[in-house]
Amino acid sequence: MAILNLDDTKKVIAYQKFVREDPRGQVTQDPLWGELKSNWGHVYVYHETDGEIDAVLTVLTVEAVAGKLLGYAGRGPIGDVENIGMIKLMIQEALQALPDNVFLIRLDPEVAYSDTLNDAYQKAGFITRNRAIKNMHGNIQPRKNVVLYYDGRGDGAAPITSETELMTHFKRDYRNQIRRAAKDGVVVTSGDTQEDIESFFDTYVMMAAAQNITHRPLSYFLRMQELWQGTGLFKVFLAHFEGRVIASGIGFSYGDEIWYMYAGSDRQYAKHYGPYAVQWEMLKWGLSLGKVEYDFGGVGDFVPEDGLYKFKHGFAYHDPHAEYIGELDWVVDDAGYQEYIKQFN
């Protein structure tokens, strides 16, 4: 067990290689994510077997209670999450390197919920936050996600090995809408340039305004583009219609998965189905890379009344619902923890 020395180029490369290539690798465990979150502190813990990294725990810290720090391992750790003894040792290693005012280390690995795993973490001293949390915003990351599985899962599903098989995996009306977009002249490009980000941001702001939600500043996405440009792990997809960008999406390629993380659209052009065209190209990207999963991101619940689910499910209606274990909280300071969770109750 060790703390990553960011001045040790060889070890940083090994750490990043593991995070990017392990089947359960996640962009939020990459040290670049710590650079993106420039106002957060960070510590990077790794475990080795025979000199090879086989588990990592990236913990970012931010003041979440007056004078006290939350330590958050977004979608981490990466490794054998059933080896709870090892996970606890990694947490203790992190705490030794972090400031004394950390009140909580929160994990939320992308691993399926099970009563067995939930009970095991509770018995090991963790507080688990999953099925008792009814609002999707009651957790930092949504616990219920729509996922398309290229390897074929669920009733009526078969492995997807071609674009034709991918198209027929969707609901019929979704196939028609993708074809309608192409017929109308919608063209989707992809890239990782500053111009791509700026075009994405215009539609992102429109979508946020239409939904009356807050959004991140342009500087955040420009920094993201700067950090990941040229890695092949990050792409911006833009749907163009008559010289105008009408829909967009940002995806990350880590491990066995494409994670569709951000999107935007101009509702004035809804009849041209730009968002469907964007998804088609992003899903083809995952297929071309031989991915196992395409993660559409979180939903409030797996019901048609949920707007996010309604859109995403049409691409993955053969696929089983993805319900993750949720947050695994290692509490260091109970008073700070109780103050913190008030905002989620």
Instruction: Find the catalytic residue in 312, 315, 319, 329.
Output: 312
> How, if at all, do strands 41-49 and 144-149 pair?
unpaired
Alpha carbons 294 and 286: distance in angstroms, whole number: 7
Using CA of residue 146, residue 148, residue 151, residue 153, what is the dihedral sign?
positive
Q: At what angle do helices 218-228 and 194-211 cross, to 10 degrees?
A: 140
**Residue 295 identity (one-letter amino acid):** D
Is 271 among the residues known to form the active site?
no
Our answer to whether residue 22 is catalytic in this structure is: no
Contact 264, 274 (CB under 8 A): no
Picking from 205, 274, 193, the residue whose alpha carbon sits closest to that of residue 241 is 274
Active site residue 108: yes
Active-site entry in 22, 93, 108, 319: 108
**Helix, strand, coil fractions of the chain, as percent rounded to 5:** 40, 30, 35
Q: List the catalytic residue out of 17, 131, 183, 216.
A: 216
Which residue from 330, 236, 315, 234 is spatially nearest to 280, judged by alpha carbons? Answer: 315
- Bond prior to 77 in cis (omega within 30° of 0): yes
Dihedral over alpha carbons 167, 168, 170, 171 (to 10 degrees): 130
- Spatial distance between the Cα atoms of 19 and 25, rounded to a whole number of angstroms: 5
216 is catalytic: yes
Q: Is 311 a catalytic residue?
A: yes
Question: 37, 75, 144, 291: which one is catalytic?
Answer: 37
25, two tokens: 């690798």
Give residue 201's identity as a one-letter amino acid code: F
| Cβ–Cβ < 8 Å for 92, 43 | no
Q: Which of 110, 295, 327, 329 is catalytic?
A: 327
Among the options 267, 311, 323, 339, which is catalytic? Answer: 311
Point out the residues that are catalytic: 37, 108, 216, 311-312, 327
